[in-house]
Structure 1
Amino acid sequence: MDSSGGPSLFPLQRCKTLHLVRHAQGIHNVDGDKNYKAYMSPEYFDAHLTPLGWQQVDNLRKHVHACGLSKRVDLVITSPLLRTMQTAVGVFGGDGYTDRMDIVPLMVANAGNSDRAAISSLNSPPIVALELCREHLGVHPCDKRRSISEYQCLFPSVDFSLIESDEDILWKANVRETKEELAARGMKFMNWLCTREEKEIAIVTHSGFLFHTLGAFGNDCHPLVKKEICKHFANCELRSMVIVDRSMIGSDSSTTNYPGKIPSGPDLPSSVVDEKNLGKDEPNSGLH
């Protein structure tokens, strides 16, 4: 039966819920959205959020709390750039930071010219920085990151352990990553997600990364669904999707499936079961 035009089924343990977020407005977006050449400006190196960007963060934070998403997310993955990490900790971080020796903040006060108070790590899901979900690499100074040691001072509770190099060795001043290379990196990222044990993951990343990565999906769907998957993200937009591990890249087992008959084996015919039950009800049966 050809079910390509209708609904499809897949085992739950082979699926993950992804909450995809594009970073809030950065200082580079203000001019870059009007004139693409502005992205070449050195003043936008590792661009931080604008005051409007922080308002967008606050609005998204209210939304994820109001809809209950903040309590469901098991893990937050962020691109290791100022604007994405500011967005990630601002949206998913804890409330009411106090300067206690036993609590390390997610973000220190005024990190990246933010003019913001420190953000608490209390009641926050783990936040992990990962190079695979960075924006287009090369040429544009806004897409070049600082050293990890510098970031660790600004974001003390963000996990940078999956980043191998302290300095940015991926960004090249005269070579821009192609769309095809970015899409391939995006697929590598998606395959990596399938190996994670977490089931509900928020990802804070970039417009170009999302557009070219998601463009590889939806070809088996209705054209309108494909369009819905692949359309460009606005600043601080969140979209929730499900990723399916069709090739069993991960090794998850179900926590809700139940095997039924224990011990396993073929079910007995109803007549045999009835006779056995009847024998149990009549203790003297079989003694005649």
Structure 2
Amino acid sequence: MAAETHWQFSIVPGCFLQSEPSTDASTFDYVSSNFGLIPRTYPTDDSLPANATTTTTITNWDRFAHHLRTLNATSDPSVRYKILFLGRHGEGDHNVAERTYGTEKWDSYYSLLPSDPTTNATFHDAHLTSLGKSQARTAHAAWRAQLPHHIPTPESFYVSPLNRCLETASLTFEGLGVEGTQPFRPVIKELLRETIGLHTCDSRSTKTEISAAYPSYIFEPGFVENDERYSATLRESNSARDKRFRDLMQDVFENDPMEVLSLTAHSGAITSLLNVFGHRRFDLETGGVIPVFVRGERVRGGLPVMRVEPWFSL
């Protein structure tokens, strides 16, 4: 990307219920609501393929996908539209511990330990619980249920390097029977991880360990053996996390021409991504998925300076 340009992001409204202010995140069910897709017509419907002329052969996903592709085909070269399916990992051992001990005690004491002194559950690079695995399988079933309705399936898959996301992505997409999942080979992105520092659950395994557990996964260029980002004494601020995800999206929009992307990540990561895109806050349950329809425009000038709070200690 030229040094004098950057990507500026905004949300395309009116396509998904999650972007509507009237939708209550605390009660919303992405599975029963078809991932939140709003049934509607689009100004591009007139150019749908000639053999799809009746409502019985055109699905709501057909209309949306055609609208997305038409926007990209007819827009200025400096503009790109993408649909990003943001998936939160299933429940992990650390989630259970926070619920058990309370957030205050979790943040100040238990999160700093390598494992639970009562149950011996491992916190370092925490794994999914049985419920967490079930939640990932629910996401798999949700995708499978939408395939007959022609949901646009991801053309690029990205995943956080933390184990709970690596496993969630595997359970969600392996065996789905769509391109890119046989074998399933997502790209592991270092910047896609959860808030960095202090909490041992947010310290990743080594590259060698990840490769042994997920041999088909692809490491992005420059992925190093040891976790050089994690600090046992400092934790990333929310604004620093936002900047990290702004940088990640600059990379994705500049270098990935695909229109449909899957990102398997974390609650804090998804919060920052929604902030970067200008989307309303929408808290996901463990295992939840939110589609985000993003417009990116390459504009002149360097990236605006962000006010970033420093990393902090307890």
| TM-score between the two structures when normalised by the length of structure 2 | 0.62
1:78-102 CA-to-partner distances (Å, cap 9, x unmatched) read 0001100000111011269xxxxxx
**Residue 205 of structure 1 corresponds to which residue in structure 2?**
265
Q: How many pairs are equivalent?
A: 211
SS in 1 for 2:219: coil
1:196-222 CA-to-partner distances (Å, cap 9, x unmatched) read 02211100001011113312433xxxx
**Residue 125 of structure 2 corresponds to which residue in structure 1?**
46
Verify: 1:90 aligned to 2:162, yes or no. Answer: no
1:12-45 CA-to-partner distances (Å, cap 9, x unmatched) read 2510110000000001000213422232231100
* 8 Å Cα contact 2:125-2:164 kept in structure 1: yes
Determine which of 78, 88, 102 is the counterpart of 2:159: 78
Change (3 A) 1:248 1:66: farther
* 8 Å Cα contact 1:182-1:213 kept in structure 2: no
Shift of the alpha carbon at 1:131?
0.6
Shift of the alpha carbon at 1:248?
6.0
* 8 Å Cα contact 1:74-1:126 kept in structure 2: no
Q: Which amino acid is 1:85 matched to?
A: L
Verify: 1:188 aligned to 2:254, yes or no. Answer: no
Shift of the alpha carbon at 1:163?
4.3
Q: Which amino acid is 1:155 matched to?
A: Y
**Residue 179 of structure 1 corresponds to which residue in structure 2?**
238
How well do the aligned residues superpose, as a CA RMSD in angstroms? 2.6
Shift of the alpha carbon at 1:47?
0.1
Shift of the alpha carbon at 1:125?
5.2
Q: Distance in 1 between matches of 2:186 and 2:253?
A: 17
After TM superposition, the structure 1 = structure 2 runs for residues 1-288 of structure 1, keeping only pairs within 5 Å, are 11-13=71-73, 14-34=80-100, 35-36=102-103, 37=106, 38-43=110-115, 44-68=123-147, 72-94=153-175, 123-124=182-183, 126-195=185-254, 196-218=256-278, 226=279, 229-247=280-298
Change (3 A) 1:212 1:12: same
**Higher relative contact order (CA closer than 8 Å, sequence separation 6+):** 2
Q: Distance in 2 between matches of 1:95 and 1:247?
A: 34
Shift of the alpha carbon at 1:246?
1.5
Greater Rg by CA: 1
Change (3 A) 1:125 1:71: farther
Unaligned residue ranges in structure 1 (runs of 5+)? 1-5, 97-120, 219-225, 250-288
Aligned residues: percent identity?
26
Deviation >3 Å, runs of 4+: none
Q: Which amino acid is 2:85 matched to?
A: H
Q: Distance in 1 between matches of 2:133 and 2:293?
A: 28
Unaligned residue ranges in structure 2 (runs of 5+)? 1-12, 15-42, 44-67, 74-79, 116-122, 301-314
* 8 Å Cα contact 2:144-2:176 kept in structure 1: no
Q: Distance in 2 between matches of 1:248 and 1:123?
A: 38
| TM-score between the two structures when normalised by the length of structure 1 | 0.67
